[in-house]
Amino acid sequence: MSSTENADSATGKDPTPQMPHAPHAPNSPQEPQAPQAPQVPRQTVNGGISFWYAQQSQSQDQSQNPSLPTPRTPRTPLPGDTNADVVIVGGGYTGLWTAYYLKKAAPFLRITVLEQKFCGYGASGRNGGWLYNGIAGRDRYALLHGHDAAVRLQEAMNATVTEVITVAAEEDIDADIHRGGVLEVAYTPAQLARLKTFHETELSYGEKDRELYGPRETADRIRVSDAVGSTWTPHGARLHPMKLLKGLAAAVEALGVTIHESTPVTEIRPKHAVTPHGTVRAPYVLRCTEGFTASLKGHRRTWLPMNSSMIATEPLTPAQWESIGWEGRETLGDMAHAYMYAQRTADDRIALGGRGVPYRFGSRTDNDGRTRPSTVKALRQILLRLFPQLSDVAVAHAWSGVLGVPRDWCATVALDRSTGLGWAGGYVGSGVATANLAARTLRDLVQRDSGQSGATDLTTLPWVEHKVRKWEPEPFRWLGVHGMYATYRAADRRELTTHTAQSSRIARIADRVAGR
């Protein structure tokens, strides 16, 4: 994920009763011990960037008050006009991975990263922690470039999961990574029909190690209430988004890359990244701003900043985990039209996300991740739909953020060789792994353009140099997105009540209108 829809009416409190939890031991010796239970019920923390950020900000050495935040040492803003060989706009996964791979390939390059707030402020510090092999737009790329080209793209994504895990180990980044694969479940007849079609489609793209399960095999992994089937792929892992981000930023700086925080870029043009503090001039200017792209001059309609929201529960007890299973720590999704995504965290919580208010008028983005109480309640209802035995489990944290959505829902990476302007993004919520593939591709595109190398397998993938039209102006943009998600939710409700095996017709209409 990534996400946002906060501010307007958020009160900072979960609308459901808050219950204390019992201390417990982890199910696996590799997992850290969960914290002891508080003596009094706790209210939901709303916003504060994300649960991942708040957890990383806690003091590790003040035993008398472990909830006291440790002040984060900010990186210095850009001090004034300067020059570089490559300037990267955005201090999230895409920007930092790009800096990492470029500097490793060409240590002599002077690389500057400009971040408007701090590294991990956006989607990279707020997502669901799904490192998996999904990529937005693959089916469209198959239509445009042929099935074999799309298979190569899928194979590159499969390999990317391993790449991230390998580099994290090499750089000694402890990001709570557990490779348990991805389990996607169905709990209505219509979802089961979609799941079987999805499973067959994935097999057709070369994923021969994917498995299809019935109710019993599904329950052997995770006991989702009323699950009628599931599909599982090994190409996925759970991780802690902010731990990965902080470790990556440290690795990048250790290589000699300069990172300036609190430096918003207001305009990108050939060989210039313009900020209030000065301008960085460089032959290559790479835009890695994902859901915040709309804030740049001339890009308000390039990618739509879609909101996604998450909750994290209090740590569950051993008895609660016994009732659920989930010992493999797979990432968990479903086949609903308005889908959800979840993980079992390293400290034995459930972190679960989905769409709340999908879009804010005028492509606005949030400040601190605050989330409307109605969205917190809706996400908790999803949690209880999956695991009704958790009715007394408190929601400890709620937050939101934004992800980038192109008009045709296709992720892309590109470098304009006539201007030196490059970009990557439009991941539509699948950015944890896709950002890494995009970064390695940007590295190869820059090296090809500068004469350091020729074309590579990555530069010939079908998503490279993909062009797409802009989103409609307001109010049509707002009306279209809100109408689309209202339709998806209505379709899900209808499928739950009618138990028909056929997907709701109104959802298919919404897909066509959306251009998905």
- Name residue, tokens 């479903």: 334
pLDDT at 15 over 50: no
What stretch of H or E contains 481? helix 476-498
Q: Sign of the C-alpha dihedral, residues 405, 413, 258, 295?
A: negative
pLDDT at 16 over 90: no
Contacts of residue 39, Cβ cutoff 8 Å, sequence gap at least 6: 20
pLDDT at 365 over 70: no
Range with the poorest average pLDDT among 167-171, 225-229, 511-515: 511-515
Burial 453-484 (b: 16+ CB within 10 A, else e): beeeebbebbbbebebeebeeeeebbebbeeb
HSE of 263, CA atoms in CB hemisphere, 13 A: 29
Contacts of residue 202, Cβ cutoff 8 Å, sequence gap at least 6: 210, 231, 233
Beta-bridge partners for 405: 304
Q: What is the pLDDT of residue 246?
A: 97
Residue 66 or 191, more confident: 191
Beta-bridge partners for 464: 413
Q: What is the pLDDT of residue 23?
A: 34
pTM of the model: 0.85
Three-state DSSP string of 404-441? EECCCCCCEEEEECCCCEEEEECCCCCHHHHHHHHHHH
pLDDT at 305 over 50: yes
Helix, strand, coil proportions of the chain in percent (round to 5)?
A: 35, 20, 45
Percent of the chain at pLDDT above 70? Answer: 79
pLDDT at 315 over 80: yes
Range with the poorest average pLDDT among 168-177, 232-241, 395-404, 454-463: 395-404
What stretch of H or E contains 305? strand 304-313
Token pair for residue 332? Answer: 């968990």
pLDDT one-digit tens code per residue, 461-514: 999 999 988 877 667 666 766 666 677 666 666 767 777 766 666 556 656 655
Q: What is the pLDDT of residue 362?
A: 54
Name the 3-class secondary structure at 246: helix
Q: What is the largest CA-CA distance in the chain?
A: 64
pLDDT one-digit tens code per residue, 373-401: 999 999 999 999 999 999 999 999 999 99
